[in-house]
């Protein structure tokens, strides 16, 4: 089992390049099968979730060619199976994007129903509501969602909750559903816009992505394109908070600063200086951080995927902060781990009350999920002494070469697999 070992207390300094957005890439890869022509996708992050989805896509018969680490070619003309294997959905929920893509293209898709996950129950009723409105019969049989239609047609759909996944899945199916679809109360996340731009570059007619009403005019078919994925706002935000928590000075490059506004605003509130450039953001923390309150919200609000990272920074800020999680019900699992490092956090319902402490101390902790795992690494970087983070497989799902990028900023962090390597690290860092 791989672990990270970290010697904390070193301010991160330097420049780091951000990869393409995982959550945009997952949807775009699924959408790429919607034409029989070859799609080239660039700025793909080399992370586990992406690699599993590529396997799922070749599992249904598409030709997937990895041109290099960040570029892939997909040709969906050879798809022989509209049924996705449970093995993939077990590993990544986002393989449910194949539902919208296959339904749009073949009017038939079978995808195992994803279960709950480490951040809480995650229903997909809004996805299914959308498919039904587009004319599909949707059944759940033997643990799989079976969506089938003689013909799809445009429809007027109101989402009862703002859902990134439902917005994207419905947008994909509707792109090839004759007639007009109006999707109201749509999610506005940058990756929703990226997927719409991608589909439009394939010949779809989607307008309004990025607002809460998306209008789609179904087209007969989609065609080849070459597309570069937007930068990952959550990876960028994670490095920004790593700079803040370690009292560092980090420039994150290859970002769209507009997508980082909520994160930037909170960093400024807690006492960091944030400088914006065309495609980079510099974060400097030259004094002790200050308290604040934050509530996670759909975009453009503060992202739930940045909730654990800000909690770590607030755990060593001056004063008492309240962090409220309004998207997922079970996203404070890491708080107990952070308390083992000396933080003072009480979780009540969907809020965490954080009394800032002077310092954290290194401990052995375990990553409960992707973002919480990254946050525990930040805690380790800020803490006095040695921290070992277990279960880093979660972190590898969404961060490309996390330890390498942190090392380039001066961090003492290594991936280890056995006690001998841990001892070697301890001897080296003293
Ligand atoms: C996406 O998940 C992201 N995943 C998540 O990123 C992210 O946390 C989340 O959006 C919120 O921004 C991907 O893009 C692959 P939702 P998604 O549907 O689409 C409820 C990460 O760390 N809901 O926007 O599954 C749901 O329970 C991950 O990278 C319904 O009730 O999230 C939640 O409370 C984790 N019914 C809220 O809506 C539905 O049909 C928002 O979920 C769908 C969702």
Q: Supply the pLDDT for residue 89.
A: 85
pLDDT above 90: residue 119: no
Q: What is the model's pLDDT at position 115?
A: 66
Whether residue 144 has pLDDT greater than 80: yes
Cα-to-centroid distance, 305 and ligand 1 (Å): 10
* Other beta carbons within 10 Å of 207: 12
Residue nearest to atom 33 of ligand 1 (CA): 327
- The CA–CA distances, whole Å, from 311 to 7, 155, 302, 423 equal 20, 42, 13, 30
The confidence score (pLDDT) of residue 114 equals 82
Strand order in the sheet with 108-112: 108-112, 144-148, 137-141
Token pair listed for 312? 């770590």
Best probe residue, ligand 1, of 26, 117, 161, 375 (max atoms within 8 Å of C-beta): 161
- Ligand 1 atom closest to Cα of 127? 40
Contacts of 159 (CB under 8 A, 6+ apart): 126, 129, 130, 166, 167, 183, 184, 185, 186
Catalytic annotation present for 272: no
**Residue-wise pLDDT tens digits, 168-181:** 999 999 999 999 99
Q: What is the pLDDT of residue 116?
A: 61
Instruction: Give me the residues paired with residue 300 across strands.
Output: none
* 97 Cβ inside 6 Å of ligand 1: no
Is there a contact between 91 and 74 (Cβ–Cβ < 8 Å)?
no
CA of 310 to the centre of ligand 1 (A): 19
- Listed residue (291, 301, 296, 288) closest to 382, CA to CA: 288
Does residue 121 carry a pLDDT above 80? no
Counting beta carbons within 10 angstroms of the beta carbon of residue 84, is it exposed (0 to 12), middle (13 to 18) or buried (19 or more)? buried
What is the CA(21)–ligand 1 centre distance, in A? 15
Q: Is 176 helix (H, G, I), strand (E, B) or coil?
A: coil
Best CA proximity match to 185, nearest among 167, 172, 199: 167
125 CA: nearest ligand 1 atom: 40
Q: Is the pTM of this model over 0.85?
A: yes
- In the predicted structure, residue 359 carries a pLDDT above the cut 70: yes
List, in sequence order, every beta strand (DSSP E) within 200-319: 205-207, 213-217, 225-228, 249-253, 273-276, 280-284, 293-295
- Where does the pLDDT of residue 88 fall: very low under 50, low under 70, confident under 90, or very high at 90 and above? confident
């Amino acid at each position: 089992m791989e672990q990270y070992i970290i010697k904390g207390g070193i301010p991160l300094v330097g420049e780091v390049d951000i990869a393409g957005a995982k959550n945009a890439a997952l949807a775009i890869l699924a959408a790429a099968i919607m034409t029989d022509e070859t799609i080239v996708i660039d700025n793909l992050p080399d992370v586990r979730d992406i690699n599993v989805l590529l396997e799922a896509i070749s599992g249904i018969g598409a030709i997937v060619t990895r041109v290099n680490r960040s570029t892939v070619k997909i040709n969906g003309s050879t798809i022989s199976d509209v049924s996705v294997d449970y093995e993939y959905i077990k590993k990544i929920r986002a393989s449910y994007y194949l539902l919208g893509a296959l339904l749009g293209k073949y009017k038939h898709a079978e995808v195992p129903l994803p279960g709950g996950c480490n951040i809480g129950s995650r229903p997909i009723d809004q996805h299914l509501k959308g498919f039904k409105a587009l004319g599909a019969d949707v059944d759940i049989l033997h643990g799989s969602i079976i969506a089938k239609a003689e013909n799809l047609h445009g429809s007027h759909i109101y989402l009862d909750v703002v859902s990134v996944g439902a917005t994207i899945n419905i947008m994909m199916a509707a792109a090839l559903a004759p007639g007009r679809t109006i999707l109201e109360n749509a999610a506005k996340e940058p990756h929703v816009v990226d997927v719409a731009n991608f589909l439009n570059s394939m010949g779809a007619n989607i307008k309004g992505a990025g607002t809460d009403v998306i209008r789609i005019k179904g087209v007969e078919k989609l065609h080849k394109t070459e597309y570069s994925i937007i930068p990952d706002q959550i990876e960028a935000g994670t490095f920004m908070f790593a700079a803040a928590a370690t009292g560092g000075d980090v420039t994150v490059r290859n970002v769209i600063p507009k997508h980082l506004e909520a994160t930037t605003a909170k960093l400024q509130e807690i006492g960091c200086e944030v400088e914006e450039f065309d495609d980079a953001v510099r974060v400097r923390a030259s004094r002790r951080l200050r308290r604040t309150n934050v509530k996670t919200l759909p975009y453009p609000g503060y992202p739930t995927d940045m909730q654990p990272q800000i909690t770590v920074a607030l755990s060593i800020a001056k004063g008492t902060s309240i962090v409220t999680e309004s998207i997922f019900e079970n996203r404070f699992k890491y708080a107990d781990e952070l308390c083992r490092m000396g933080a003072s956090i009480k979780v009540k319902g969907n809020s965490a009350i954080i009394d800032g402490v002077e310092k954290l101390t290194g401990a052995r902790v375990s990553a409960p999920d992707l973002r919480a795992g990254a946050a525990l690494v930040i805690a380790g970087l800020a803490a006095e002494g040695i921290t070992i983070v277990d279960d880093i497989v979660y972190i590898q799902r969404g961060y490309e070469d996390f330890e390498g990028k942190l090392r380039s900023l001066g961090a003492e962090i290594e991936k280890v697999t056995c006690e001998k390597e841990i001892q070697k690290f301890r001897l080296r860092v003293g």
